[in-house]
Amino acid sequence: MTKKILIIDDEPDVLKFLVQLFQDEGYETATAVDGLEGMQKLVESKPDLITLDLQMPKDTGTSFYRKMHHDSRFKDIPVIVISGIAGRHLAIKKPVAVFDKPIDKDELLKTIKNTIG
């Protein structure tokens, strides 16, 4: 069964880059531009892993994570933080990894493969 990654980021170029990167590696993808849409896509797509930006309009990545983590259906889905803001490692408890923008694609793919295969 193909693994699915939910990408939550408000930057169109980042979304496009990650979708292409993950699909080239054989993963299915779903995308959202903020935490509000991210919650809808989380329910619809039931991803195996989430990449999460922290600073977004409407609903931040931190707010999305709190909501997700308090829902027993989703709390065990691994999250990789991809953000350009300082202190991002403190915003999310126990992320699988934290990546700066611009993204090191090789390290990101290695982390994903080690996490979900």
Q: What confidence tens digit (pLDDT) does each residue in 21-66 have?
A: 999 999 999 999 999 999 999 999 999 999 999 888 888 888 999 9
Beta strands in 47-87 (DSSP E): 49-52, 79-83
Q: Write the CATH number for 26.
A: 3.40.50.2300
Residue 90 — very low, low, confident or very high, per pLDDT cuts 50/70/90? low
How deeply is 22 buried, as exposed, middle or buried, from its count of CB atoms within 10 A (0-12, 13-18, 19+)? buried
- Indicate the pTM of the whole model: 0.93
Nearest CA-CA partner of 80 in 96, 100, 59: 96
Say how many domains are in the chain. 1
32, 18, 44, 69 alpha-carbon torsion, rounded to 10°: -80
Tell me what the pLDDT averaged over the chain comes to.
91
Per the structure, the complete domain to which residue 87 belongs is given by 4-116
